[in-house]
Amino acid sequence: MTSSHDQPFGWALIGCGSVGRSHSRWAVGTSDIDVHAFCDINEEAASSYYEQFEGRYYTADADRIFADDSIEIVTIATTHGTHAELALAALAAGKHVYLEKPMAMTTADCVRIYEAMQAAGKKLMINFSIRFSGAARAIKSRIQPAMVSHAQVMLGREDLKRWQWLPEIGGGLIFDVGVHLADLLCWMHDSPPVEISATGGQVTHPGQLASPEIIDTVAATIRFANGSVATYLMSDAGFSEKLTKWFSTFNDGQQSAVLDEHFSRATITTPDPVSGELTTESFSPPFIDRMPLLVDAIRNDTDPYVPAYPGIVATLVLEKIIESVHTGQPQKVELPPQIAPK
Ligand SMILES: NC(=O)c1ccc[n+]([C@@H]2O[C@H](COP(=O)([O-])OP(=O)(O)OC[C@H]3O[C@@H](n4cnc5c(N)ncnc54)[C@H](O)[C@@H]3O)[C@@H](O)[C@H]2O)c1
């Protein structure tokens, strides 16, 4: 069923921090969006976004956004520990939701959001940025699907004062950046993960993190249902100018692709089917616009470009990586029954 809604959609942002700025620019730049409100528990942040991006009001009270019938789409760009509560409240209030990653910090919470979304009949899009990269999309269309991959995010030594390291609020580097790798690998392999083996823990900051549960370093392997395999490396042990912060490579048995330069460049090597001679091309297509993809999904009543499913799977992968690091045992991965293929 397509929507008869031909007016711009009233939009509000919850979480006026660094990524909220990008969401605000995207909203302002989308003709189908009418910017209504900015919300942050830090009222000054909300006020400064209101001054910069305009709209109708700012507030420190998310309930005011949920109670406002003129707001139809809510972007949630807050600290990780608040995603579930805010997304559930937004869906219960009948809003479509554009939710930052990670979808939530536990698979159980992700599933709750998924069920709330279904009950509300609303759309939910997850902001897995790599999926919007033209370079990553080019690789996805050429490597079909990945058979053997490696994905890594390697940072310079991190500031431990950031909220991202706090257990309940951030969950550590893995929920901040490692979640992108989990999603990237599942997307490129096009198959559910079935087994994860991981090692690591507090390698770069031994005993310095708020809880022994928080990890700073992971070296993992993932096996997918179609038999394909991947390695996963995440740490703040050092940043390489050569490989850059994000570096991944995907191979499908014929072609080989590298995604680097902050996932903006694709380099694909293809063997000639007869001579075996290799041809290598490098290209950097732009990112695609994100908000119109959610608007289209609402108007056409289709799944948005990055729906709930990959959000749930990525958090599940993180949980299994963490379990494997803590137990030293490989972990079987089973999709929650709500999203498992019937
Ligand atoms: N997709 C991406 O590439 C990408 C990049 C960076 C950050 N992020 C994600 O965006 C989210 C925000 O990260 P950030 O770097 O902008 O953090 P930030 O600290 O700059 O901003 C977070 C804001 O949320 C506000 N906030 C916290 N709890 C709130 C609540 N209950 N109600 C209203 N406001 C609340 C804080 O006051 C703060 O202003 C995180 O989920 C992060 O992982 C995604």
Best substitution site from 18, 24, 78, 80 to test ligand 1's pocket, by max atoms within 8 Å of Cβ? 78
Q: Tell me what pLDDT residue 3 has.
A: 53
Compute the C-alpha angle 304/283/147, nearest 5°.
65
152 & 262 share domain: yes
Atom of ligand 1 nearest to the CA of 175: 43
74 touches 286 (CB < 8 A): no
Chain segment 26-40, per-residue pLDDT in tens: 999 999 999 999 999
Confidence of residue 1 (pLDDT cuts 50, 70, 90): very low
Q: Is the CB of 59 under 6 A from ligand 1?
A: no
The secondary structure element, H or E, covering residue 147 is none
pTM above 0.75, yes or no: yes
Atom of ligand 1 nearest to the CA of 86: 31
> What is the tally of structural domains in the chain?
2
22 & 108 share domain: yes
C-alpha 30 to ligand 1 mean position (Å): 21
**Does 158 fall in a domain?**
yes
Distance CA 297, CA 307 (A): 10
Q: Could you give the C-alpha distances from 321 to 93, 135, 270, in angstroms and in order?
A: 34, 27, 33
**Does 171 fall in a domain?**
yes
Q: Is the CB of 211 under 6 A from ligand 1?
A: no
Q: Is the CB of 15 under 6 A from ligand 1?
A: yes
The closest of 19, 62, 58 to 36, measured between CA atoms, is: 58
Chain segment 67-94, per-residue pLDDT in tens: 999 999 999 999 999 999 999 999 999 9
Atom of ligand 1 nearest to the CA of 45: 39
Chain segment 99-112, per-residue pLDDT in tens: 999 999 999 999 99
Name the amino acid, one letter, at 233.
L
Q: Is the CB of 60 under 6 A from ligand 1?
A: no
Atom of ligand 1 nearest to the CA of 128: 1
Indicate the average pLDDT of the chain: 96
- In sequence order, which residues have a C-beta less than 8 Å from that of residue 280 and are 6 or more positions away? 267, 268, 269, 270
Structural domain boundaries, residue 145 = 133-287+317-332
Distance CA 116, CA 88 (A): 7
279 & 145 share domain: yes
Atom of ligand 1 nearest to the CA of 164: 43
Best substitution site from 76, 79, 183 to test ligand 1's pocket, by max atoms within 8 Å of Cβ? 79
Atom of ligand 1 nearest to the CA of 179: 43
- Supply 208's token pair: 């310095």
Quote the percentage of the chain above a pLDDT of 90: 96
C-alpha 20 to ligand 1 mean position (Å): 7
61 & 90 share domain: yes
Burial class (CB in 10 A: 0-12, 13-18, 19+), 224: buried
**Does 341 fall in a domain?**
no
Burial class (CB in 10 A: 0-12, 13-18, 19+), 11: buried
Chain segment 205-220, per-residue pLDDT in tens: 999 999 999 999 999 9
**Does 339 fall in a domain?**
no
The mean per-residue pLDDT over the stretch 310-324 comes to 98
Q: Is the CB of 18 under 6 A from ligand 1?
A: yes
Q: Hey, whose CA ends up nearest to atom 4 of ligand 1?
A: 19
Q: Is the CB of 104 under 6 A from ligand 1?
A: no
**Does 223 fall in a domain?**
yes
Atom of ligand 1 nearest to the CA of 46: 39
CATH number at residue 225: 3.30.360.10
- Supply 150's token pair: 């490696």
Q: Is the CB of 8 under 6 A from ligand 1?
A: no
The secondary structure element, H or E, covering residue 203 is none
Name the amino acid, one letter, at 232.
Y
- Supply 292's token pair: 């119109």
29 & 178 share domain: no
Q: Hey, whose CA ends up nearest to atom 6 of ligand 1?
A: 19
Place of tokens 């000054």: 44
- In sequence order, which residues have a C-beta less than 8 Å from that of residue 275 and are 6 or more positions away? none
Confidence of residue 6 (pLDDT cuts 50, 70, 90): confident
Burial class (CB in 10 A: 0-12, 13-18, 19+), 102: buried
143 & 281 share domain: yes
152 & 37 share domain: no
Beta strands in the chain (DSSP E): 9-14, 33-39, 57-59, 73-76, 96-100, 124-127, 148-154, 193-201, 217-224, 229-235, 246-251, 256-260, 265-271, 278-283, 331-332
Q: Hey, whose CA ends up nearest to atom 43 of ligand 1?
A: 176
CATH number at residue 19: 3.40.50.720
Q: Hey, whose CA ends up nearest to atom 27 of ligand 1?
A: 78
DSSP 44-76: HHHHHHHHHH--SEEES-HHHHHH-TT--EEEE
**Does 3 fall in a domain?**
no
